[in-house]
Structure formats: C-alpha cells, structure tokens
Structure 1
Amino acid sequence: MAMDNTVLTAREYGKVHIRLKELMDARDMTRNELARAANTRFEVVDKWYRGSVEKIDADVLARFCFVLGCQVEDVIQYETK
C-alpha cells in the first residue's frame, strides 16, 4: 500500500463529535456535579463539555459513562460529513 504525502482535510475523513453536553443537559446535571461524581477535576469535565478534548482518556470516558448510565457511543460519535 503506497503512502502519499497528502494532508487530509476534515471533510475527507470526518470528525469525532463529543456529545457530553447534550447528555448532561438532558439529565439536568452540572459540570461540577459530574466532576464530583466521576472523581475528576472540573477542568477535565469542562473540556469534554465544550467538545475541546484533544486526546481521549479511556478511564475518564468510562467514569462518565458509569455516572451517566450510558454507552461510549452515546458520548462519542464519528461523523463522516
């Protein structure tokens, strides 16, 4: 398989959308409440809430899913367009 040196744009390979805000809003949960319940810092929850996560920490994601009673695919969605 040959590799070319082309840089792909987001529209070519899609993007990952973080849906934590929607899940929390539906449960009427604040970022402070989730931070306490998931035993993590507010700043970590805030990054996820704003969708500005650069690297996904599987442990943090698992704690969010446990607290919110949801699945990984409820929090993270891959969009091709």
Structure 2
Amino acid sequence: MRDEDFGTIRIKLEEVIQQSSLSKNKVAQLSQTQRGQLNHYCKGDIQRIDLAILSRLCYALDCRVEDVLEYIPPQTKNSI
C-alpha cells in the first residue's frame, strides 16, 4: 500500500501565523526555531514532524495542535 491510501496530513502553520499578530521572525524567536526550519514547516516541506518543534510553535502561537495540522482522508476508502 502507498501512503496516499491512508490520507495525508496538511500543515496549516502559514495560515495560523497570518491570523496571529506575530511575524515569522517573532514566531521563530519565541519558539526557538531557526527561520529556515520554520519556513519548511510553513511550506509543508518536511517528511517527519518534530514533536518538540510542534509544541514550541503551539506555545509561541498560543494555539492547539489541531489548529496547525489537518488530517485529509483518502478519496476512496480502502479495505485493509
């Protein structure tokens, strides 16, 4: 089976940052995350989510994990 058969995870960090009153630089500073790494998360350009970084981002943005991540089910249900 392919990963797509199980759906995908969409990272909505860029949207959460835009809705906040914080700049990306401030979010990077508050979350003690490098700006380049923050940009990768904003673009969804990561393979594995670092839970420590995710928790620091949620702390800096005063949000919940489900505000940042969204599960998108597959188009068709597979029988496993």
Compute the TM-score of the two structures, normalised by the length of structure 2: 0.83
Q: Which amino acid aligns with 2:22?
A: M
Question: What residue in structure 1 maps to residue 53 of structure 2?
Answer: 60
Show structure 1 runs of 5+ residues with no match. Answer: 1-6
Q: Is 1:29 matched with 2:22? A: yes
| In structure 2, distance between residues paired with 1:46 and 1:40 | 10
Question: What residue in structure 2 maps to residue 3 of structure 1?
Answer: none
| In structure 2, distance between residues paired with 1:9 and 1:68 | 30
Count of aligned residue pairs for this structure pair = 74
Question: What residue in structure 1 maps to residue 42 of structure 2?
Answer: 49
Q: Which runs of 4+ in 1 moved over 4 A?
A: none
Report how far residue 8 of structure 1 moved: 1.9
Report how far residue 9 of structure 1 moved: 5.3
| In structure 2, distance between residues paired with 1:42 and 1:79 | 27
Q: Is 1:69 matched with 2:62? A: yes
Q: Which amino acid aligns with 1:59?
A: A
CA RMSD in angstroms, aligned pairs only? 1.3
Report how far residue 29 of structure 1 moved: 2.7
Show structure 2 runs of 5+ residues with no match. Answer: 75-80
Compute the TM-score of the two structures, normalised by the length of structure 1: 0.82
**Percentage of identical aligned residues:** 27
Question: What residue in structure 1 maps to residue 2 of structure 2?
Answer: 8
